[in-house]
Amino acid sequence: MRDSRNVVNSDVVLGEDWVSPDASDADVRRKRERRGYLTLNRSPLARKIITFNLIGLLILVGGVFYLNPFRDSLTEQRVSGLHSEVGLIANVFEAQLPRNAPVSLAGGDGINPQATLDALALSRGVEVYVFDTAGQKVAHRSGPPLDLESPGGVTIITDFLNAIWEGTSRLLTPDSRETTGADGEALAQTLVDDIASDPSPFATGQDAAGETLFAVAAPVLQGENLVASVAVSSAAGEIDYLVRKEREQVLQMFVIAILVSIGLSLVLASTIANPLSDLAAAAEIGRDRNARKMTPGRVRIPDLTGRPDEIGRLSGALRGMVAALYDRIDANEQFAADVAHEIKNPLASLRSAVGTMRVAKRDDQREKLLDVIDHDVRRLDRLVSDISNASRLDSELVREDEERFDLLHMLTNLTDYLGQEANEKGVEFITDLPRQPIMVFGLEARLAQVFVNLITNAISFCEEGDAVRVWVRKRENRVLVVFEDTGPGIPEQALTKIFNRFYSERPAGQFGDHSGLGLAISKQIVEAHGGVIWAENIRPTEADITSDPLGARFVVGLPI
C-alpha cells in the first residue's frame, strides 16, 4: 500500500519527441515529420481500426446483395402486374363468348382473337399470346416498346458483383421454372400445359443475351370449360435494368461510405494510435539500457490528461507512476545522505573518545570516556535498527494484508498499558473514547505503532504533575484521534520540520536517546492509509500567539 498523492510532475512531457519551448521551428517540423501524424506502416492498431470498420461495412453491403431485396421486390411487383393484366385480357375474351354454344377460336365462331387483342390498350414492353386448347397460337400482339437504357458509369466492380448475384438470384426465386435461351413466346408456350391445373402459372427465363424475362398465363373459360389460354410476357432485361440501376445507386453510396469510413478511421486512429505510440515510446526509453545516451534527463511522459477518455487516464497514471518513482529515487538518495550524516556523528564521538582514552591517566576520566563510548554504541545500534525499519517500511506496507478492525478496542488496550508507564512517572493519563465501536480498514499493527510512538513522545516531554490526554471523535467519513500533553510544547520553527527524517527536538538530558525517525515513520504509515497527521501547540483562547504554549497536540485523521 503506497501513498499515491502528490505524484503529478508538472514538467512531464514527451520523451523522445519532446520539444522544448526554445526549439526552433525547423526542429519542431523535423520531429513531427519523423513521427508522422498517422504511420500506418508502423501502427498495427491504426491498421486494425481501418480494417475492422471496412469489414463491418462490407458485411452490411454484402448482406444487402445476398438477400437480394431489389430483385425479389421488383420481381414480385412485376409478376403481380402481369397477373392483373393477363386476367383482364382473359375477362375480355370471356365476355365475348356465348353462354351455351360451343366455341372454337381456331374455327372462327364469330370470335376474332386478333381483333380483340388489337382493340386493347397494352402496357409497355409486354407480349400477349392467345393459344387454343390444342396449344396452337391463334393471336399475338406486342405492347408499345419499352426504352431500356443502360445505367451510366457501370464499373468493373459492379459487373463483377452483378455476375455473382445474378447467379445466386436463380436459387432465391421460388416456384418458378427457369429456361435459358428462350424468347417470350417459347416461355409462354411452357405455361399452356399447366393452365388446367394451375389457374395462374408464371415462369422466368433468360434469352440468348442473358436478359431475364417473365411470362404469366390465365385460362379463358366458358362456364367451367377451357376454351383458350392467354399468356403475357415481359420485355427482356426489364428487371435486370431496374436491378442494375438500384444496385448502382447502392454501390455509389457504398463507395462514399468507404471513403467516409476510411477518413473517420484515419482520424480515429490518429487520436488513438499516435498518443498510445507516444506513451509507449516514452515508457520504452526508461527500459532501454542505452536510455542515458538518448535522453540524459529524466524519462518524460506526454501530458494527455486533458483528454476526457481512457488515454487521458492512462497518461495521468503513467505520469503519476513515473513521478512517484522519481520521488522515491530522490527520497532514497536523500535518505542515504541523511543516514551517512547521522552515523558520522556518533562515529566521530567514538573516535574522539577512543583517542582521548589512550592519553587519559585517571580512572575517573577513563570511566567517563567508557560511558561516552557505551552511549554512542547504543545510539548507533538504535539508529541502525530504526534506519532498517524505515527502509523496509514501504515494501512491508505493500505485502501486508489490510483488514477491518475496531479502532477503539485497539486504543483501549494501548492506553491501559501506556497509562501505567505515565502514572509511574507522575503524569496524569486521561482518555476520552466513545462507547460505540469505530471500524476502520487498514493495518492494525502499523497504526498501533503510530499511536504508541505519539503517546510515548507525549509522556517523554512531560514532567511530574503534567497530564497526557487521548481522545477520539468521529466526523462523518473520518475519525480523529488526538494526543495532547501539558509539556513545553513545540518550538514554532520546528512545527514545519518535526515530521522530517532524523529531525529531533529534545531536551539536553535526552540527547542521543532518539533517532528522529519515529514521527517520519508515523507520517508515512498514516498517509499510506489515506489519512493525515499534523502537530500544533495548545494555546489559550484569544491569547497572543507569541505567548508560551500550554502544551502540544498531535492529530491523526483516518478514513472510515
Q: In CATH, which superfamily holds the domain spanning 68-236? A: PAS domain (3.30.450.20)
Contact 431, 408 (CB under 8 A): no
Task: Say how many C-beta atoms besides its own lie within 10 A of residue 557's C-beta.
Answer: 17
CA-CA distance, 455 to 32, in Å (whole number)?
60
CA-CA distance, 509 to 516, in Å (whole number)?
15
178-180 vs 202-206, strand pairing mode = parallel
Class of domain 401-560: alpha beta
Half-sphere exposure of 408 (CA within 13 A, CB side): 15
Which single residue is written with the C-alpha cell 498518443? 275
pLDDT band, residue 342 (cuts 50/70/90)? low
- Say what the pLDDT of residue 30 is: 47
CA-CA distance, 218 to 223, in Å (whole number)?
15
| Closest to 65 (Cα-Cα) out of 243, 240, 205, 256 | 243
Across 254-261, average pLDDT:
84
Task: Say how many C-beta atoms besides its own lie within 10 A of residue 129's C-beta.
Answer: 26
- Say what the pLDDT of residue 51 is: 83
Kindly list the domain boundaries of the chain, sorted by start residue. 68-236, 401-560
Across 283-296, average pLDDT:
56
CA-CA distance, 359 to 190, in Å (whole number)?
138
Q: Answer yes or no: is pLDDT of 357 > 70.
A: yes
Identity of the residue numbered 366: R
Report pLDDT digits (tens) over 167-215. Answer: 666 665 544 444 445 677 888 888 887 776 777 787 877 777 777 788 8
Q: Which three cell numbers stand for residue 471?
A: 481522545
- Say what the pLDDT of residue 302 is: 77
Across 331-349, average pLDDT:
72
* Phi, psi angle pair for 9, to nearest 5°: -105, 115
CA dihedral 390, 391, 392, 393 (to 10 degrees): 40
Across 398-415, average pLDDT:
86
Report CA Rg, the chain: 49
pLDDT band, residue 352 (cuts 50/70/90)? confident
CA-CA distance, 70 to 107, in Å (whole number)?
46
Topology agreement, domain 68-236 and domain 401-560? no
Contact 220, 196 (CB under 8 A): no
More confident position, 392 or 533: 533
CA-CA distance, 75 to 73, in Å (whole number)?
5
Q: Which three cell numbers stand for residue 29?
A: 517540423
| Closest to 230 (Cα-Cα) out of 260, 271, 201 | 201
Q: Which of 15-19, 298-302, 504-508 has the lowest mean pLDDT?
A: 15-19
Q: Answer yes or no: is pLDDT of 431 > 80.
A: yes
Report pLDDT digits (tens) over 17-57. Answer: 333 334 334 443 444 444 444 555 666 777 777 888 888 88
pLDDT band, residue 451 (cuts 50/70/90)? very high
Q: Which three cell numbers stand for residue 310?
A: 481512457
478-485 vs 551-559, strand pairing mode = antiparallel
The DSSP code for 507 is -
Task: Output the average pLDDT for the chain.
Answer: 75
* 20-38 CB burial, b ≥16 within 10 A, e <16: eeeeeeeeeeeeeeebeeb
- Say what the pLDDT of residue 502 is: 67
Distances (CA, A) of 441 to 111, 392, 554: 106, 22, 21
Type and span of the H or E element at 432 = strand 428-432
Q: Answer yes or no: is pLDDT of 249 > 80.
A: no
Q: Answer yes or no: is pLDDT of 378 > 50.
A: yes
More confident position, 452 or 174: 452
Q: Answer yes or no: is pLDDT of 556 > 90.
A: yes
- Say what the pLDDT of residue 402 is: 83
The DSSP code for 235 is P
- Say what the pLDDT of residue 398 is: 65
Report pLDDT digits (tens) over 134-161. Answer: 788 888 888 888 776 644 445 566 666 6
